[in-house]
Amino acid sequence: MARKLFGTDGIRGKANVEPMTAETALRVAMAAGHRFTRGDHRHLVVVGKDTRLSNYMIEPAMQAGFTAMGMDVVLVGPMPTPAVAMLTRSLRADLGVMISASHNLFEDNGIKLFGPDGYKLSDEVEEEIETLIEGGLLDHLAASNKLGRARRLDDARGRYIEFVKHSFPRGLRLDGLKVVVDCANGAAYKVAPTVFHELGADVIAMAIEPDGTNINKDCGATSTEALQQQVVAHGADLGVALDGDADRVILCDETGAVVDGDQVMAMIARSWQADGRIAGGGVVATVMSNLGLEKYLETIDLNLVRASVGDRYVLEKMRAGNFNLGGEQSGHLILSDYSTTGDGLIAALQVLAGLVAAGAPMSAFSHVFEPYPQLLKNVRVSDRSAMDAPAVKTAIAEAEAQLGGDGRVLIRPSGTEPLIRVMAEGLDEAVVTSVVDEIADAIAAVSA
Just list the catalytic residues. 102
The C-alpha atoms of residue 173 and residue 330 are separated, in whole angstroms, by: 27
The C-alpha atoms of residue 217 and residue 200 are separated, in whole angstroms, by: 29
The C-alpha atoms of residue 343 and residue 347 are separated, in whole angstroms, by: 6
Q: What is the DSSP letter of 37?
A: -
Q: How far is CA 275 from the centre of its chain?
A: 26
Q: What are phi and psi of 48, to 5 degrees?
A: -120, 170
CA dihedral 290, 104, 212, 13 (to 10 degrees): -150
SS3 433: helix
Helix (H) or strand (E) holding 239: strand 238-242
The C-alpha atoms of residue 134 and residue 406 are separated, in whole angstroms, by: 49
DSSP sequence for 282-323: EEEEETTS-HHHHHHHHHTT-EEEEE-SSHHHHHHHHHHHT-
- DSSP H helices, 40-188, are 55-68, 81-90, 123-134, 156-165
318 closest CA partner among 330, 307, 328, 303: 307
CA dihedral 247, 248, 249, 250 (to 10 degrees): -160
The C-alpha atoms of residue 283 and residue 324 are separated, in whole angstroms, by: 8
The C-alpha atoms of residue 292 and residue 369 are separated, in whole angstroms, by: 6
SS3 54: coil
Q: What is the DSSP letter of 200?
A: T
CA separation, residue 403 to residues 121, 297, 388, 409, 430 (Å): 39, 22, 21, 8, 11
Classify each residue of 211-242 as buried b or exposed e, where b means 16 or more C-beta atoms within 10 Å of its C-beta. eeebbbeebbbbbbebbbebbeeeebbbbbbb
153 closest CA partner among 33, 46, 247, 29: 46
Residues 334/342, Cβ–Cβ less than 8 Å: yes
